[in-house]
Chains A and B, each alone.
Chain A
Amino acid sequence: MFLYIENNVLYLKGYWTVENFKDIKKQLTDLKNNSFDYVDASQLEKLDFYGGYLINQYLKDFDIKNIQDKNMEILRLSKDIPNLPPKKSNIFLELIEGFYQKLTDYVAFVSFTGEVLINSLRRVKDLEARNLFKELEETALKSLGIITVLSFLIGVVIAYQSSAMLATFGANIFIVDLVSISLARELSPLIVGIIVAGRSASSFTAEIGLMKVSEEIDFLKTLGISPYSTIVLPKLLTLIVWLPILITYSTILGILGAMIVSDITLGIPPNQFFQRLAETLSFDHYLAGVVKGPVFGIAIGLIGVYEGFKVQQKAESIGFSVTKSVVRGIFAIILIDAIFSVIYRWLDI
């Protein structure tokens, strides 16, 4: 019981605190049909903001008598609830603002690319061999495992899925054409690009973001060392050189997977598979796929690094930037691949 009426006076008693909020509120609601002249708070032992809020909401029209000074202060503090400013919610303006932000972001990215290229080439002496080896290990060698498994499995899946259809038409041997050309030209570059975008772009962003938060970037600049040459250039060079190698490796493993499936499901022995492969897979096809590597590498590297440099001096922004760099990296890979397809079509490659 937190209140009672006696001789036309409403007595408040006990602890009017957050723990009892619901009970007190219920008793105040039930009070509606009762009448009283004033409120006596002499038995009120403790009042907090929640109790004060209820008194101000339900009993504001009555005199509160015999209230202790400390409780009076709480009652005063919990009285005037300020209004929130109107929330900006103009969808049209938000869309324009969003579009403008995206546009400025792309312009900033292009400008950043120019800055990186110019600074890196000017200060190429800052490039250190140990950074290159570190990147080689982190970016290239550590992604070998997942690329091995995925490439082999994709070769197996394509061959397995196609074999039934090809067998229906008696076109078993064309499995070699299907698998080798699709892997060499499209699938291997795409798989490698997406895996590296997921692994490396995110790690670049996190690494540089953390360096920015801990002021390592500023530290390098004050020493007169270009962060672009020491941090960015090794990453870009590693990706440019290593991606074509990974694409080649992925193509070989995919074909290997397809060869095993072809032998089992279509009865094409490996020697016949290789014979057909030599006739089908020209150097042009291989080149058409492998040439995408350096372009993908530059895109992944620049996006990862750009998002890292965009991190503000707050640790929370690293998470947002890492997510952005992965999404943008994968988007860029698919977009560039589509552009390559159009160009190859025009050039009839």
Chain B
Amino acid sequence: MAGYIIQVKDLVSKYGQKVVHRGLNLGIKEGELYAIVGGSGAGKSTLLKTLLLLKKADGGKILFKGKDISNLSEKEIEDIKKRIGVMFQFSTMLSSLTVGQNIIYVIKKRYSIDYKTALDMAKLKLKLVGLSMDTFYMYPSELSGGMKKKAALAVAMSTDPDILFLDEPTSGLDPISAEEFDKLVRTLVDTTGTTIVQITHDLGSLMFVDTVAVISKGLVVYEGNPQDLTNVNDDWIQSLTNTTRFRRLLDGK
């Protein structure tokens, strides 16, 4: 049975006097596709920042592969950061570089790997996310929304991270492209064994994940199979599962 890659225990996050998380707990297992959902202002973005080690926790523990990150040295933290990949909401890449150059840049900067290997890796990663080799020479501004998401995914996966965070990966995509992207993410988890965590608003994406965590009022109110969401006794989850869109998705209509 796979162990936990990340465990969050009694996390407290604050912005000044405002408390965002009040003892939040969750556990992400190695090799699973995990989704974090919640209403606007529930604290999803703050949680993402904390998990990306961009924001320090104000209380509680974050364990990365069983190690409490608050006890680690700066060097160890940097090593952990190298094992984390992220695709931001707006598919952020360096706009002055082509997609291929973006991938090569990340590989060389993170691991000082020779150019030939980095170039071959860039080609493999583009193939992996289903982009044509023409994309290698294209700048991010020249890509359509769906292509840009895939290119950003290729950049995020360029150094084979242990865990990959996708922030609102299907936002701005049409339903067909969104489903195509969801399927791609599912395939990547199944084939490469990478742990992928999605922060999402897209109910459609939930149908592809192994585990969903619902954040409400600064706590994880549900963590488990998305199919069982309907049985959970929580106001926000009830509101979510009573939406027509969710019902239709669940019924496969």
Contact check, B124 vs A53: say whether CB atoms are below 8 A apart: yes
Contact check, A70 vs B111: say whether CB atoms are below 8 A apart: no
From the candidates A50, A83, A87, A317, name the one contacting B160 in the complex (CB within 8 A): A50
- Complex interface: stretch among B55-63, B65-73, B130-138: B130-138
CB within 8 Å for A84 and B136 given contacts A21-B111, A78-B124, A314-B141: yes
In the complex, what residues of B have CB within 8 A of residue A30's CB?
A: none
In the complex, what residues of B have CB within 8 A of residue A82's CB?
A: 123-124, 126-127, 133
Contact check, B121 vs A53: say whether CB atoms are below 8 A apart: yes
Q: Is B231 an interface residue (CB 8 A)?
A: no
Contact check, B128 vs A84: say whether CB atoms are below 8 A apart: no
Q: Is A85 an interface residue (CB 8 A)?
A: yes
CB within 8 Å for A317 and B141 given contacts A18-B159, A21-B113, A85-B134: yes
| B100 nearest in chain A by CB position | A84
A128 to chain B minimum Cβ distance, whole angstroms, is: 34
Contact check, B127 vs A50: say whether CB atoms are below 8 A apart: no
In the complex, what residues of A have CB within 8 A of residue B235's CB?
A: none
Expressed in whole angstroms, the Cα–Cα distance for A317 and B141 within the complex equals 8
Contact check, B123 vs A77: say whether CB atoms are below 8 A apart: no
The residues in A between 30 and 49 inclusive whose CB is less than 8 angstroms from any CB of B are 48-49
Contact check, B111 vs A84: say whether CB atoms are below 8 A apart: no
Q: Is B192 an interface residue (CB 8 A)?
A: yes
Expressed in whole angstroms, the Cα–Cα distance for A22 and B110 within the complex equals 13
Contact check, A81 vs B95: say whether CB atoms are below 8 A apart: no
In the complex, what residues of B have CB within 8 A of residue A81's CB?
A: 120, 123-124
Expressed in whole angstroms, the Cα–Cα distance for A316 and B133 within the complex equals 23
Contact check, A73 vs B191: say whether CB atoms are below 8 A apart: yes
Contact check, B137 vs A53: say whether CB atoms are below 8 A apart: no
In the complex, what residues of A have CB within 8 A of residue B120's CB?
A: 53, 81
Q: Is A17 an interface residue (CB 8 A)?
A: yes
Contact check, B191 vs A77: say whether CB atoms are below 8 A apart: yes
| A73 nearest in chain B by CB position | B191
**B-to-A contact residues, CB < 8 Å:** 82, 95, 100, 111, 113, 117, 120-121, 123-128, 133-134, 136-137, 140-141, 159-160, 191-193
Given contacts A21-B113, A77-B191, A312-B141, 4 further A-B contacts (CB under 8 A): A18-B160, A81-B124, A84-B100, A85-B137
**A-to-B contact residues, CB < 8 Å:** 17-19, 21-22, 48-50, 53, 70, 73-74, 77-78, 81-85, 87, 312, 314, 316-317
